[in-house]
């Protein structure tokens, strides 16, 4: 049960039961191409803030050589990882929410972890609610700061207010964390953590038979990943067509940047929805964020607030984007972008 108590500066939530004093954390990790994704390493960094003495276990699932390579990478990717748990089965070839949630329940029953943490990305958002339902606890999502083992900060109202959440429910305390809020600072000299196989003999296959994997599509590009890029170039509805949006892609190539888009541009079919930036898309925190033809809807601004420098180009001098931009140019993007492409040197 969660109740709200209003304070002068933020909202505070509490309930009536107590959390265990024994602190141990399980990280639900995502891997690809034999390596742990950076968002999952950020989740490990977040786990360090829960308690300095916490024991951190990292859970991987999959099958084949790629999983074993990922396990080897996980064992040495962060010095705070105490052990790597590997669930090797064809059932986990694809990260389907039902199979993963059942796996989390199985591992929790054996490990009795006080905290379960995952990244607040499509992987984590897919698994965490279902796993929390199986364990009969309420998850805390989109955490941006950890004050103690049971007190966390998360944004509300599209990032316009911060909410402090105090968890006093039964174990485990389940969190999804914004990777952009937990920068990874890893000592290059990291001891290898032991790797253990998860006993799947009691895994109930019938329990997860209500869904199946169909296919997976992804754009093959040399541009950096949108969620981790140091420079992001975003286009909005003002680009008017998918053909015109290619100007954004050309500019990104020159700057070695990732390409983003507003929801309006995605809904109009200019680009795929995996490029959407904002509250219902990807949260980014690059060193440089450039927005062309982006009005600055509150949902979009919620996804770029942690950017170090924001540059906006828009014909409308009253566009909300200028209220948060460090540098703004009132101008026609169809004139500005070609000029930038002409004057910028080719990427080496």
Measure CA 239 to chain center.
28
Phi-psi region of 282 (alpha: psi -120 to 50; beta: other; left: phi over 0): beta
Conformational region of residue 112, where left means phi above 0, alpha means psi within -120 to 50, and beta covers everything else: left
Is 99 marked as binding a ligand?
Answer: no
Within the chain, where are the H helices? 38-50, 65-76, 97-111, 122-135, 242-255, 263-267, 298-301, 333-343
Q: How far apart are CA 123 and CA 114, in angstroms?
A: 21
Cα 250 from Cα 222, distance rounded (Å): 12
Q: Which two tokens stand for residue 155?
A: 């944004």
Q: 278 among the known binding-site residues?
A: yes
Residue 297 in marked binding region: yes
Report the candidate in 316, 309, 311 with the shortest Cα–Cα distance to residue 331: 316
178 carries a ligand binding annotation: no
Is 105 annotated among the ligand-binding residues? no
Residue 166 known to bind ligand = no
Is 109 labelled as part of a ligand binding site? no
The residue assigned the tokens 């316009």 is 160
Distance CA 40, CA 30 (A): 6
Whether the link from the prior residue into 172 is cis, omega within 30° of 0, is yes
The response to whether 296 counts as a known ligand-binding position is: yes
298 labelled as ligand-binding? yes
Are 46 and 144 in contact, with CB atoms under 8 Å apart? no
* 3-state class (DSSP) for residue 107: helix
Alpha-carbon gap, residue 222 to 256, rounded angstroms? 9
Q: Is 184 annotated as a binding residue?
A: no
Would the annotation count 23 as a binding residue?
A: no
Is residue 300 a known part of a binding site? yes
- Residue list, annotated binding site for FAD: 237, 262-263, 276-280, 293-300, 314
Annotated binding site: 237, 262-263, 276-280, 293-300, 314
């Amino acid at each position: 049960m969660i109740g709200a108590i209003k304070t002068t500066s933020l909202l505070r939530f509490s309930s009536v039961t107590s959390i265990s004093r024994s602190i141990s954390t399980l990280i639900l990790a995502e891997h690809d191409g034999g390596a742990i994704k950076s968002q999952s390493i950020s989740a490990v960094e977040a786990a360090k803030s829960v308690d300095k003495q916490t024991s951190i276990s990292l859970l991987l699932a999959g099958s084949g050589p790629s999983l074993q390579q990922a396990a080897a990478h996980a064992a040495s990717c962060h010095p705070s990882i105490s052990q790597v748990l590997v669930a090797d089965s064809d059932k986990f070839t694809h990260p389907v929410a039902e199979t993963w949630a059942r796996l989390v329940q199985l591992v929790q029953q054996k490990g009795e972890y006080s905290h379960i943490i995952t990244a607040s990305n499509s992987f984590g958002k897919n698994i965490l609610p279902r796993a929390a339902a199986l364990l009969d606890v309420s998850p805390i999502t989109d955490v941006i700061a950890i004050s103690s083992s049971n007190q966390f900060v998360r944004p509300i109202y599209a990032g316009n207010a911060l909410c402090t959440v105090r968890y006093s429910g039964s174990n485990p305390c389940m969190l999804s964390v914004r990777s952009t809020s937990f920068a990874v600072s890893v000592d290059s000299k990291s001891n290898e953590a032991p790797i253990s196989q998860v006993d799947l003999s009691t895994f109930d296959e019938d329990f997860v038979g209500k869904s199946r994997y169909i296919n997976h599509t992804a754009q093959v590009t040399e541009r950096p990943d949108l969620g981790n890029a140091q420079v992001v170039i975003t286009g909005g509805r003002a680009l008017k067509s998918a053909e015109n949006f290619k100007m954004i892609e050309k500019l990104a190539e020159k700057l070695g940047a990732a390409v983003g888009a507003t929801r309006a541009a995605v809904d109009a079919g200019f680009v795929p929805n995996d490029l959407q930036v904002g509250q219902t898309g990807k949260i980014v925190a690059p060193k440089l964020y450039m927005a062309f033809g982006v009005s600055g809807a509150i949902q979009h601004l919620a996804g770029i607030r942690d950017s170090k420098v924001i540059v906006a180009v828009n014909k409308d001098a009253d566009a909300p984007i200028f209220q948060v931009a460090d540098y703004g140019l009132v101008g026609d993007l169809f004139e500005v972008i070609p000029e930038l492409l002409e004057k910028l040197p080719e990427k080496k």
